[in-house]
Amino acid sequence: MREVYFVAALLEARDLAKSFRTDDVERPVLRGLSLEVDRGEWVAAMGPSGCGKSTMLHLLGGLDLPDAGSIRLGDDEITALGAPDRARLRRRRVGYVFQHYNLIPHLDVAANVELPQRLAGASRREARSRSIELLEALGLAGLERNLPGTLSGGEQQRVAIARAAANHPDLLLADEPTGALDSVSAALVLDLLRAQHDGGQTIVMVTHDPDVAAVADRIVHVLDGQIVAPEPLVPAGGP
């Protein structure tokens, strides 16, 4: 684990509560969860299925709002924003890597990576240049015109990482990014995330796999909708 020095907190979530209603039964998922992530830090969140990890990630990225609590990303108070403003914030400041890729099937690889850039206001030329740069860096040169369905799972996840990183987001969120991959593809995806992090990218990643979590700077455990027993950052060469 590399030695890392952090400048200032980028993300602060305080006392998040979230419940979902099914068949007139309200099911609490988050129960006062709090998390702080420093700029340039890579945090891995672990916990059993149903503990609230993915719900937490959705709230941190502004895909949904908590029932109570606050989320601040830099100077933006996410929980004070309406849906249109949260969408604009996501386009500017948040990249999201989903476990099952969520690529647009009728758009080719290059167009999938260009789309968030175009939505954020980049010109066609700027978006194309950035897409080619990322795809080459991720070993996907020559696949720009392929549709997602023609790619392997590992290739699709690399496209998803390129799409998430395309707008130079302040925060990259990854929900089980290796969960649907074989060991070789998983190792490659982790190498790609590590390269992004080495370039200063802040990452919050959800995973079930302790070997995957071990590449992060810090591991937090989610249980019954709360963060429990956070592990301290251990510099390279430490115990």
Contact 7, 39 (CB under 8 A): yes
Q: Cα(51)–Cα(44) distance, rounded to whole angstroms?
A: 14
Pairing of strands 202-206, 42-46: parallel
Q: Which domains does the chain have, with CATH numbers?
A: 9-102+168-228 (3.40.50.300)
Tens digits of residue pLDDT in 95-108? 999 878 899 999 99
Q: Record the tokens describing residue 237, joined without a space.
A: 């060469």
Which pLDDT score, from 0 to 100, does residue 8 have? 66
Tens digits of residue pLDDT in 66-114? 999 999 999 999 999 999 999 999 988 999 998 788 999 999 999 999 9
Q: Name, in order, each residue with C-beta under 8 angstroms of 190's C-beta and a sequence gap of 6 or more.
A: 178, 212, 215
Report the 10 Å Cβ neighbour count for 31: 14
Q: Cα(8)–Cα(166) distance, rounded to whole angstroms?
A: 23
Indicate the pTM of the whole model: 0.86
Which pLDDT score, from 0 to 100, does residue 15 have? 96
Q: Cα(89)–Cα(73) distance, rounded to whole angstroms?
A: 9
Q: Cα(212)–Cα(19) distance, rounded to whole angstroms?
A: 29
pLDDT at 230 over 90: no
